[in-house]
Structure 1
Amino acid sequence: MSEAEAAGSLSRRRMEDEEGAAAMEADAAHSGRGEAEDEEVESSDYTSEDEGTEDYRRGGYHAVRVGDSFKQGAYVVQYKLGWGHFSTVWLAWDTVHSRYVALKVQKSAQHYTEAAMDEVKILKQIADGDPDDSKCVVKLLDHFKHSGPNGNHVCMVFEFLGDNLLTLIKYTDYRGIPLPMVKEICRHVLIGLDYLHRTLSIIHTDLKPENILLVSTIDPTKDPRKSGVPLVPPSMRTDEPPPKVPAQSGNGGLTKNQKKKIRKKAKRAVAATSEGSSAVASADTDGSDDRGDLGTTNEGSPRQDGAKKRVTRDRRGSKGAKKMMAMKADLKCKLVDFGNACWTYKQFTNDIQTRQYRCPEVILGSKYSTSADMWSFACICFELATGDVLFDPHSGDNFDRDEVYLFFLHSLFFFLGHLLYFSWNCIQERKRITRIPDYKCTLI
């Protein structure tokens, strides 16, 4: 690899703190987790639901639309699955093999193309060593290049899988799943990691719930293989121009997240000044009103009270139904998204892992190996069992999040060290007591 290629590999592998290159999932960020979204503006202007339009330009995303055909009609796009910083992912129908597949369309800039080819190399190595499909790692089925208005895009075709583990956590309302289920999931994850680490010397470097997919959907009605939804036929149109980038408004160059925060504040202000408005209640995140009777004639009407009760009952029923589906889900899963993977003997950058799953050696800027994945795996185990992340540090005026994270680790290890020391002393004391001779006492 030349110096230019090495520099390109290094730069393209750099990840933003809250952003990964999610290749096979529809929830690319930890949306709805505490106040993380409100506390800081993400480095990108995108939300977790939409990649935005700014990167639909030369060197960026390809404007994929439902019904589009790829590779001379071999793959027909059905609908969107998700997006990442590097690519968009689509459900497609494989007309040659009559099956659903996941089609990943990479951005077309040179460094994204090089990153995609590195990923293809790793994925081909994974597929070649697993002909029986027993190693719990996603299968690359095909790859090719597609030419469009924004350039040439590397496309990868994967087996179609189900929901990611973050969706499973959401279905249980962030309350955690039973430990037997956690153990079953961990068994499949460890099979995949053992195969990557010991057999192939590959480090995933971005292991998190979003990058572990169940083999089937939690809700059977959302599985296109079972729902009986008719296939979208290939469209007859030629390539259309990409979506237009909206004109810059005179708002001082605010990002989408900043605008979103302003809108939230505006809604709260309206709620405070217009308590009697029914529109305010519908704008609430959970749709419920904890303030009781507001003293207005409309709010006190039996019709609206009955509607509120029905909405609350339906919502509770929906949560209960989701939890039941989660408890019955097929827990077989596979590791996905190797856009940031590397080999133990050939690493591209020291800036790896999403923050909540980042190991101490990476934070300290030290060398890392396969143990980095094991740290992330342990964090995932905790999150599955409890529904919450183990580490989620926040910055302050005089310290950054890495310093908070390291302080927490220091405190944790200090506590564990004292606990081990205390346990060791107890064991030694017990041994000493058991060595005391058993003297016989005679009553006089």
Structure 2
Amino acid sequence: MSKDDGDSASDYSDIESCHSDEEEDLEDYRKGGYHPVSVGDRYDNGRYIVLRKLGWGHFSTVWLTLDTMTDTHVALKIVKSANRYTDSALEEIKLLECVKKTNPEAKGYRHVAQLLDHFWHQGPYGKHACMTFEVLGESLLSLMKRYNYKGIPQNIVKRISKQVLEGLDYLHRECGIVHTDLKPENVLVWIPNIEDYLKKDTAEILSDIKQKEAISLASSPTQLQPQNQPWLSESESAGLSKSKRKRLKKKKKMKSLQEAREEALENGDTGDLEDKMGNLKISTSWKRPKEIKVIPSSILDITSIEVDKEGLQVFDDIVVKIADLGNACWMDGEYTHVIQTRQYRSPEVIVGCKWTNEADMWSAACMIFELLTGEFLFDPRAGSKYNKDDDHLAQMLELMRTVPKVLISGGEFSREFFDRTGKLRQIKRLRYRRLRDVLHDTFLVPPEDADAASTFLLPMLEMDMAKRAPASQMLESPWLQESA
């Protein structure tokens, strides 16, 4: 990818908000694309029942489902079936398994969204990787909308910031993972007592589904597979008809492939996993739907669950979790490819330097500024004589003033942006400003608060990534100590 090859973080992760006012394009329901889902559909041998749509991204859809094995609700993510998406999904699963197993006792563990299960599903448009997660609520972008993009109260921002930094510290120090796409859309609100609420909220939907299934089963007994039916022994199957024995054989094959999948993922052997699962058919009776309808998304609204007479004060005790590791990677690799959504992109990524977890810290600072003010810290625009990258670097230099040697000469594209003296080639006139002045003059933050917030953010905005403060250091900041 070239230095200015688009503003998205990657071709796999759902970098657009899952809580858009629009929905996915019907044209993407095709070979290699989305899997058509309807309320009442069952997945993984009937274990998961679809109840409603939670959201979508350009590379997956997300559904609220009931896990009949545990009698709890989970979020089911169904990835598009093209090979590049399924390959990326397998890598995401490996990263999520690491997050799940590394250190459940760590503070930051509870601030990273947890993978619960994963399986394949064969549909009319291909084989889809499926993952289930704990059910979470709206994103921080939705929270910003609640405050009309005028900034979230500082006490809530401090609480969110501390939890995000704890989550990043867990990913970085404990798991050795770089998120690479931290932004408000990828931090979700955890809702207390969610299961009690969902049990009541979905009872009528579930009742209707089971009633329809009962009618369908009565009219065509072979159409639905019984849930959680134990595997029959050879002696038990001896008296079955030829067709029933054939169906039993298929079930056993599916079970052995499921076990092979779990073993391969446990050992990190995803290449062999693809070979073993290449012929898996979970939904053998699928018929191409005559008409596909896009189901509207409906996020879980914490204010409707946690009723509070003071309205938005319900967020004073907010708990958040970092989500979407679709672009994440291991810290021990050497990377120079473009990561991060544009407004949260770090300078080393723009010039093509090698980057690692310090890039997440830059994104964290940009996001926290946005939570405080409701606006981007950096929002570059292309001009007639310069591109977005030129303007992005100019905005950074206006705020941070100095540029380290590693950016001037250490990146693949450094010479395109800087001359030998460290001056920008395309943009000559810069309007220097201090971060505390931006907070005070532009966003009317009181002087004392502007000074404190600026002091907190600047270590994460260090242009030299080697000097940028890690999450563990930022957690000691006095600015955070007032948060719960």
Question: Normalising by structure 2, what TM-score?
Answer: 0.59
Q: Report the alpha carbon displacement of residue 197 of structure 1 after superposing the two structures with TM.
A: 0.6
Q: Report the alpha carbon displacement of residue 49 of structure 1 after superposing the two structures with TM.
A: 2.0
2:198 corresponds to 1:224: yes
Query: Secondary structure of the residue that 1:328 maps to in structure 2?
Result: helix
Q: Report the alpha carbon displacement of residue 365 of structure 1 after superposing the two structures with TM.
A: 1.0
Specify which of 327, 333, 339 is matched with residue 313 of structure 2: 327
Change (3 A) 1:71 1:164: same
> Percent same amino acid at aligned positions?
45
Specify which of 168, 171, 179 is matched with residue 196 of structure 1: 171
2:344 corresponds to 1:357: yes
Q: Which amino acid aligns with 1:63?
A: P
Q: Report the alpha carbon displacement of residue 80 of structure 1 after superposing the two structures with TM.
A: 1.1
Query: Secondary structure of the residue that 1:160 maps to in structure 2?
Result: coil
Alignment of 1:164-175 (within 5 A): 164-175=139-150
User: Which runs of 5 or more residues in structure 2 are unaligned?
Assistant: 217-222, 224-284, 294-303, 402-431, 437-484
Specify which of 362, 365, 371 is matched with residue 358 of structure 2: 371
Report the Cα distance in structure 1 between the residues aligned to 2:435 and 2:336, rounded to whole angstroms.
36
Specify which of 17, 24, 27 is matched with residue 27 of structure 1: 17
Bigger CA drift: 120-129 or 209-218?
Answer: 209-218
Report the Cα distance in structure 2 between the residues aligned to 1:389 and 1:57, rounded to whole angstroms.
36
Q: Report the alpha carbon displacement of residue 206 of structure 1 after superposing the two structures with TM.
A: 0.4
Q: Match for residue 160 of structure 1? A: 135
Q: Report the alpha carbon displacement of residue 398 of structure 1 after superposing the two structures with TM.
A: 2.1
2:115 corresponds to 1:125: no
Query: Secondary structure of the residue that 1:145 maps to in structure 2?
Result: strand
Report the Cα distance in structure 2 between the residues aligned to 1:409 and 1:223, rounded to whole angstroms.
45
Change (3 A) 1:397 1:416: closer
Q: Report the alpha carbon displacement of residue 346 of structure 1 after superposing the two structures with TM.
A: 2.6
Q: Which amino acid aligns with 2:17?
A: D
Q: Which amino acid aligns with 2:395?
A: F
Query: Secondary structure of the residue that 1:241 maps to in structure 2?
Result: coil
Q: Match for residue 395 of structure 1? A: 382
Q: CA offsets, 1:119-160, max 9 Å, x none?
A: 000000000024358511111100000011111111001010
Specify which of 380, 393, 400 is matched with residue 367 of structure 2: 380
1:19–1:354: 8 Å Cα contact kept in structure 2? yes
Alignment of 1:291-370 (within 5 A): 324-329=310-315, 330-346=317-333, 350-370=337-357
Change (3 A) 1:195 1:378: same
Alignment of 1:88-127 (within 5 A): 88-127=61-100
Question: Normalising by structure 1, what TM-score?
Answer: 0.64
Q: Report the alpha carbon displacement of residue 322 of structure 1 after superposing the two structures with TM.
A: 11
Report the Cα distance in structure 2 between the residues aligned to 1:145 and 1:21, rounded to whole angstroms.
21
Q: Report the alpha carbon displacement of residue 387 of structure 1 after superposing the two structures with TM.
A: 1.1
Query: Secondary structure of the residue that 1:54 maps to in structure 2?
Result: helix
2:336–2:352: 8 Å Cα contact kept in structure 1? no
Query: Secondary structure of the residue that 2:338 maps to in structure 1?
Result: coil
2:162 corresponds to 1:187: yes
1:123–1:140: 8 Å Cα contact kept in structure 2? yes
Q: Report the alpha carbon displacement of residue 323 of structure 1 after superposing the two structures with TM.
A: 11
Query: Secondary structure of the residue that 1:388 maps to in structure 2?
Result: coil
Query: Secondary structure of the residue that 2:141 maps to in structure 1?
Result: helix
Report the Cα distance in structure 1 between the residues aligned to 2:37 and 2:56, rounded to whole angstroms.
12
Q: CA offsets, 1:256-293, max 9 Å, x none?
A: xxxxxxxxxxxxxxxxxxxxxxxxxxxxxxxxxxxxxx
Change (3 A) 1:93 1:179: same
Q: Match for residue 115 of structure 2? A: 140
Bigger CA drift: 388-397 or 407-416?
Answer: 407-416
Q: Match for residue 250 of structure 1? A: none
Q: Which amino acid aligns with 2:130?
A: C
User: Which runs of 5 or more residues in structure 1 are unaligned?
Assistant: 1-9, 32-47, 247-317, 420-444
Q: Match for residue 235 of structure 2? A: none
Measured on the aligned residues, the alpha-carbon RMSD in Å equals: 3.5
2:181–2:360: 8 Å Cα contact kept in structure 1? yes
Q: Match for residue 56 of structure 1? A: 29
2:336–2:353: 8 Å Cα contact kept in structure 1? no
1:202–1:343: 8 Å Cα contact kept in structure 2? yes
2:76–2:130: 8 Å Cα contact kept in structure 1? yes
Report the Cα distance in structure 1 between the residues aligned to 2:175 and 2:160, rounded to whole angstroms.
22
Change (3 A) 1:226 1:140: same
Report the Cα distance in structure 1 between the residues aligned to 2:136 and 2:435, rounded to whole angstroms.
45
Query: Secondary structure of the residue that 1:230 maps to in structure 2?
Result: helix
Q: Report the alpha carbon displacement of residue 164 of structure 1 after superposing the two structures with TM.
A: 0.8
Report the Cα distance in structure 2 between the residues aligned to 1:50 and 1:15, rounded to whole angstroms.
25
Q: Which has the larger radius of gyration?
A: 1
Query: Secondary structure of the residue that 1:112 maps to in structure 2?
Result: helix
Specify which of 288, 291, 296 is matched with residue 241 of structure 1: 288
Q: Which amino acid aligns with 1:406?
A: L
1:177–1:386: 8 Å Cα contact kept in structure 2? yes
Report the Cα distance in structure 2 between the residues aligned to 1:418 and 1:140, rounded to whole angstroms.
38
1:351–1:362: 8 Å Cα contact kept in structure 2? yes
1:89–1:102: 8 Å Cα contact kept in structure 2? yes
Q: CA offsets, 1:189-208, max 9 Å, x none?
A: 11110011111110000000
Q: Report the alpha carbon displacement of residue 117 of structure 1 after superposing the two structures with TM.
A: 0.3
Q: Which amino acid aligns with 1:230?
A: E
Q: Which amino acid aligns with 1:380?
A: M
